[in-house]
Amino acid sequence: MTVATAPTRSVSEQVRDLLARMTLEEKIGQLQMVQGGGGHVPDHLRDAVQDGRIGSVLNETNVEAVNSLQWIATKQSRLGIPLLVGRDVIHGFKTVFPIPLGQAATWNPALVERGARIAALEAARTGVNWTFAPMLDIGRDPRWGRVAEGFGEDPFLTGVMGAASVRGYQGDDLSAPGSIAACAKHFAGYGASESGRDYNTTNIPENELRNVHLPPFHAAVEAGAASVMTSFSDIDGIPATANRFLLRTVLREEWAFDGVVVSDWESIRQLATHGLTAGDRDSALEAAQAGVDIEMASTAYADHLADLVCEGLVPLATLDALVENILTMKFRLGLFEQPFTEPSAFPQQCNSAHLAAARDAATESLVLLKNVPGMLPLSFAHTPHVAVIGPLADEAHEQLGTWIFDGDTQHCVHVLDAIRALAAASPAADVRVTHARGLATTRSTDHALIAEAARVASEADVVVLVAGEEAILSGEAHCRADITLPGAQEALITALAETGKPIVLVLMAGRALALERVLPKVHALLYAWHPGTMGGPAIADVLFGVREPSGRLPVSLPRVPGQVPIYYAHKNTGKPATPETIVHMNDIPARAAQLSVGNTSFHLDVHPSPLFAFGSGLSYSQVGYSDLRADATELSRDAALEIRVDVTNTGPRDAHEVVQLYLRDPVASVTRPVRELKAFQKILLHPGERRTVAFTLHASDLAFYGRAMRRQAEPGRFHVWVGGSADADLRLDFTLVD
């Protein structure tokens, strides 16, 4: 006998059925996100959830409190609609991975995806089902504190890493245990804030918006991102939270995004502060009409949307569409079937596998930028006395970086302890590790500790100096005008250099720092970003050759702050600088004639190139490129072009190489960048190994938004470079034909 079963209703059918039973107040309640109770459920929050006036909470990570809130929402409210529970899970939860900028330096999307998956599992154990990550803002101004949260200056790399992050948070099935909703932020253009000052105005022409700032968000949407967060900033006079072009034309219509749009913290209320509206009522109207589904923290919707609907200023259909998006995400998360969290169903936080993954990510994030021959890797057999110096050498908390509200420092291993552990395991005789801070903090201008640090250094065989920025110096609202080393760190480096002992500088920072004055005084430079929980062991492993350095820069490093913004994908201008035209101001004779003929675009007081180019990084071996070739000289729109290059490890050690392909369209209907990253592969080469690396290009890879704001590839000649950085000089040309 066959038993008949009721057909499973689609999510859209369930949403429509639920929506039809909701009152106006309950609909508006779904649009409201409020702070959690900090580990308990206060009466006002209990009442609001029970009455259907709250649809989501944030910053509640006590699982008992979360389960209590979900019980009230699903068992005691009229319609039993579960809550979204949001948290900034940016680069780990209890187990902290490198800051996103450091993760981008791995050039390994699989590691980024794995880190996001672990973060999701650890956060989901507490009842969190929604993270406000990844941040996909293009960061070309390192003065901006939030560059630490993004994946660097390049749209392609940011898109690849952002999509990997989305996949990690959400998994293959958003309703599966341990999957949490990702949120691509900040939509859009936030990274272009004037002067690198947070929350500031952004003036971005539509062509640049579409070609530079929007592609990473499109990649995240195509990867299935469940939600998008609006930017704090305005875009050419219209704040993002009220920007119908962004939220309706681009996001909903062009990209067919069907997820949730959430405001940033109080950004609906701040529309009045911007000067767009006269107060909360007008702000609610503008945001609703633009298509913001959820208001974070402030209450403009809760206070005014009912009147706006009743007066016909916000059509009921507009409100229903906002609510539908929210309910759809809740169904997709499986919250109606399982709103409660059982911690024992999830892995323990900071377990050995999670810590091992964090160590791998930290190791691959480290970028070796300078290495005087014979300096690194270190060996206790040759340099048995190591002086570990610097204000960040033994600071476990500081290496975690920004946005680590839930990070567990008891599992964090700092650099000094990690080097001591290697020393203890070394078979070499008379091994010693000594320590001096040199400065109380990275910001300190007090020189009192420098003399002792110099004395400790003078007695050692080698100095490992761990310097840079404390975590608090980057992140939201932590912008810097002077991005050289803060405090008296340059004085400390000078004093150590005067001892004559070789210096290995390990820099922890949340941004690209300007290091031209420092670089000549050190023998090696290892850029460590803020590497997370297992940053210390990762750094020690690379310094002593247990692991090979394999990170590459996701940003250009300026020589001096005045070069900012400096990035590799700049336009050529009508008068590009050339080696023949560059003149330093000190080389200009006194009373020289004021002429413009032959002048080009550069600063008189600094070389126009960055100190280190985008994509740069060294290994402990030597890698060469040769025989760049294509399988054809022409590419048609319905075909593919294969680019091949031979990559050889000519050195004595294993080498991880990031093979990078750059492209230029030299003649187009609008001016195009001098180079654009279009593909990359990270490979391992054993000593003496030669490998042929292949890339496949299609016409779509050549496309851009032109004068009519339509994305298309224009026929003509293209340049291709393949190499180890944006400075690659191995080039071939091909032609796109119709």
Query: Which pair of tokens denotes residue 620?
Result: 């402990």
Please name the amino acid found at residue 473. Answer: L
| Confidence check: pLDDT of 597 > 80 | no
| pLDDT given for residue 1 in this prediction | 34
- Is residue 100 within 8 A of residue 157, CB to CB? The reply is no
475, 148 in Cβ contact below 8 A?
yes
Question: What is the distance between the alpha carbons of residues 622 and 648, in angstroms, rounded to a whole number?
Answer: 8
Cβ proximity of 41 and 102 under 8 Å: no
Question: Is residue 194's pLDDT more than 70?
Answer: yes
Residue 267: what pLDDT?
A: 98
Three-class SS state of 533? coil
In this structure, the number of other CB atoms found within 10 A of the CB of residue 585 comes to 9
Across the range 503-529, mean pLDDT stands at 98
114 vs 134: CA distance, rounded Å: 14
- Please give the pLDDT value at position 5: 44
pLDDT tens digit string along 360-380?
999 999 999 999 998 999 999
Whole-number pLDDT of residue 341? 98
Task: Name the pLDDT band for 598 (thresholds 50, 70, 90).
Answer: confident
Does 659 score more than 50 pLDDT? yes
Is pLDDT at 507 greater than 90 in this prediction?
yes
Pick the CATH number of 623-737 from 3.40.50.12780, 2.60.40.10, 2.30.30.180, 3.40.640.10: 2.60.40.10
| Mean pLDDT for all residues in the chain | 97
- Give yes or no for a contact between 539 and 526, defined as CB atoms under 8 angstroms apart: yes
> For 23-67, how does the pLDDT look when each residue is reduced to its tens digit (9 = 90+)?
999 999 999 999 999 999 999 999 999 999 999 999 999 999 999
CA distance 374 to 382: 11
Q: What are phi and psi of 148, to 5 degrees?
A: -60, -30
> CB under 8 Å to 469, separation ≥6 — which residues?
442, 486, 508, 509, 510, 511, 513
Which residue, among 66, 94, 185, 173, has the nearest Cα to 131 in the 3D structure? 185
pLDDT (0 to 100) of residue 444: 98
Residue 567 pLDDT class (50, 70, 90 cuts)? very high
What confidence category does residue 3 fall into, taking pLDDT thresholds of 50, 70 and 90? very low
Q: What is the pLDDT of residue 67?
A: 98
Which pair of tokens denotes residue 599?
Answer: 């002048």
* Extents of the domains making up the chain: 359-543, 623-737
Give me the mean pLDDT over the 571-580 stretch: 93
Q: At 517, is the pLDDT very low, low, confident or very high (cuts 50, 70, 90)?
A: very high
Q: Which two tokens stand for residue 737?
A: 């034909």
Q: For residue range 199-258, list pLDDT tens digits in order.
A: 999 999 999 999 999 999 999 999 999 999 999 999 999 999 999 999 999 999 999 999
d(CA 12, CA 388) in angstroms, rounded, equals 60
Q: Per-residue pLDDT for 6 more than 70?
A: no
Higher-pLDDT residue of 527 and 595 is 527
pLDDT of residue 2: 39
HEC secondary structure over 308-328: HHHCCCCCHHHHHHHHHHHHH
| pLDDT the model gives residue 4 | 44
CATH superfamily of 359-543: Glycoside hydrolase family 3 C-terminal domain (3.40.50.1700)
For residues 549-560, average pLDDT: 98
CA–CA distance from 576 to each of 441, 582, 725 (Å)?
A: 42, 10, 21
Mean pLDDT, range 670-698, rounded to an integer: 98
**Confidence band for 596, pLDDT divided at 50, 70 and 90:** confident
Q: Which two tokens stand for residue 165?
A: 């992050």
Scanning 96-154, the segments in alpha helix (DSSP H) are: 100-104, 109-124
Q: Which amino acid is located at 427 in the chain?
A: P
- Residues belonging to the active site: 264
Mean pLDDT of 547-572: 97
CB 193 within 8 A of CB 141: yes
CA nearest to 507, candidates 450, 465, 544: 465
Calculate mean pLDDT across residues 588-594: 90
What does the pLDDT average to over 101-108?
A: 98
Q: What would the mean pLDDT of 709-720 be, rounded to a whole number? A: 97
Q: Quick one: angle between helices 450-458 and 489-497, nearest 10?
A: 30
